[in-house]
Structure formats: structure tokens, C-alpha cells
């Protein structure tokens, strides 16, 4: 993550330790169906290992994509936001059918070791969309932050990726995005002020 801050979206999925999620259980048991843990998968098909991470990351970064993905959010109430994932295909690209996934993340969880980064608190399957060149499709999902996340707003993140519409690996991720708090909102707006009282109350959206 430190070596690829602008090109890598890393998600940590936990199993059977109190931090597991329904999305993570599905991804491990149904999509990947590997009989062991832990493992690292890059772009939904490339199983990597210590010493090979950067090589495999560079290998995938060398593959071009005409898909773009952006994330924004607007406040629903003091503990929740409505997230919009805007999926586009560049005008020179090709019509692409994709499955979209969205994630509610808390960084540095659990706090027992420094390598626990970008813990997925919730995952959402947003559905399958077909996007033509030069057009975009917006998908929305409400996220409710729990007390643990609200007590640590600086560690809240939202992430998403779009991938080939297959049911099991091997797949292929076409694009991914991750944004940290404060989360950009629709229309290039950002939430300002703070979460001093442990809620989203008092935040204001300011046009950039």
C-alpha cells in the first residue's frame, strides 16, 4: 500500500475471527473456493505471495482499461450516508458488462497489529451493469456506520471495484477506487467540519 498509494486498492477480508462479513464469506467460499487461508488475490484471479506482490501488481498495472470509477456520498442522517458509484467507459472504449461491489472500511482494525489495514466492515453486491462507450451508470448504496467506525472517523474509507460478470474465479477487475474520510460527495462536493461528537451531524457540503 505504501509503495502504490495511487494505483492500488487493498481490502482485508477476515474469516472466523469476529471481523468476518457476509460478503467476505461469500467471496471466499463461493467465488474463490480455495481450501486455505490466508491468501492474497490480485484483480480477482492472480494468487500472490510474499516476495511477489510488487511483481504481480506491476504485471496487472501494465494492462490498460477503458473503465473509470468514481465514488461520492451524501449524508442521510447523523450515522449514515448514501454512496454513489459512477461507472463509466471512455469514449474510445468498448461496451462492457460488469459486476459492481462496494465496501464500508475501517482502517487499522483490529488494532492488535500494524498489518491489519482496510478491514472490510460490510460488502455490498451492487448488481451487474452494461456501460456503452462515452456513457456512465450510477449505482447507489446506503451505508450505516457503527459505533466503532464513528469513534474513529479519520480511519473510515469507502471502496468499490467492478469486475467481469462471472460467478467463480478466474475473474478480472476492470477498475477500483478507494476514498478516505472526508468522502467526496456528488457534484464534486466534500464534507467539511468534523466528527467531534462521534456522529455525522454538523457536517456541511461545500462545492469545490
191-204 average pLDDT score:
37
pLDDT reported for residue 185: 67
Beta-strand runs (E) in the chain: 40-42, 46-48, 67-77, 80-89, 96-106, 119-131, 136-144, 156-163, 173-180, 184-185, 189-192, 204-207
pLDDT reported for residue 197: 35
105 contacts 143 by C-beta, under 8 angstroms: no
174 contacts 164 by C-beta, under 8 angstroms: yes
| Burial annotation 57-67 (CB, 10 A radius, 16+ → b, else e) | beebeeeebbb
- For residue 162, the SS3 value is strand
Higher pLDDT, 195 or 166: 166
The phi-psi region of residue 67 (left if phi > 0; otherwise alpha if psi is between -120 and 50; otherwise beta) is beta
pLDDT reported for residue 38: 78
55 has a pLDDT exceeding 80 = yes
Least confident segment among 9-13, 15-19, 76-80, 134-138: 15-19
Q: What percentage of the chain exceeds 90 in pLDDT?
A: 48
Instruction: Give the predicted TM-score (pTM) of the model.
Output: 0.84
**Multiple choice CATH, 22-186, 3.10.20.30, 3.90.420.10, 2.60.40.10, 3.30.1600.10:** 2.60.40.10
50-78 average pLDDT score:
89
Q: Tell me the domain boundaries of the chain.
A: 22-186
pLDDT reported for residue 1: 62
192 has a pLDDT exceeding 50 = no
106-130 average pLDDT score:
92
Q: What percentage of the chain exceeds 70 in pLDDT?
A: 85
Highest mean pLDDT among 105-114, 157-166, 181-190: 157-166
205 has a pLDDT exceeding 80 = no
110-137 average pLDDT score:
92
64 contacts 166 by C-beta, under 8 angstroms: no
200 has a pLDDT exceeding 50 = no
91 contacts 133 by C-beta, under 8 angstroms: yes
Amino acid at each position: 500500500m505504501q509503495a502504490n498509494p495511487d494505483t492500488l486498492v487493498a481490502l482485508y477480508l477476515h474469516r472466523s475471527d469476529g471481523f468476518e462479513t457476509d460478503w467476505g464469506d461469500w467471496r471466499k467460499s463461493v467465488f474463490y473456493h480455495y481450501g486455505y487461508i490466508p491468501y492474497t488475490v490480485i484483480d480477482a484471479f492472480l494468487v500472490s505471495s510474499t516476495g511477489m506482490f510488487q511483481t504481480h501488481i506491476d504485471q496487472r498495472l501494465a494492462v490498460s482499461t477503458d473503465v473509470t470509477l468514481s465514488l461520492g456520498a451524501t449524508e442521510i442522517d447523523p450515522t449514515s450516508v448514501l454512496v454513489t458509484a459512477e461507472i463509466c467507459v471512455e469514449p474510445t472504449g468498448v461496451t462492457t458488462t460488469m459486476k459492481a461491489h462496494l465496501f464500508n472500511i475501517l482502517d487499522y482494525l483490529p488494532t492488535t497489529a500494524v498489518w491489519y489495514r482496510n478491514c472490510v466492515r460490510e460488502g455490498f453486491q451492487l448488481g451487474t451493469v452494461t456501460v456503452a462507450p462515452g456513457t456512465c451508470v450510477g449505482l447507489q448504496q446506503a451505508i450505516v456506520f457503527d459505533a466503532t467506525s464513528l469513534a474513529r472517523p479519520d480511519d473510515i474509507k469507502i471502496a468499490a471495484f467492478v469486475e467481469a460478470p462471472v460467478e467463480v474465479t478466474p475473474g478480472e477487475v476492470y477498475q477500483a477506487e478507494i476514498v478516505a474520510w472526508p468522502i467526496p460527495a456528488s457534484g464534486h462536493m466534500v464534507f467539511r467540519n468534523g466528527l467531534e461528537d462521534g456522529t455525522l451531524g454538523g457536517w456541511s457540503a461545500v462545492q469545490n
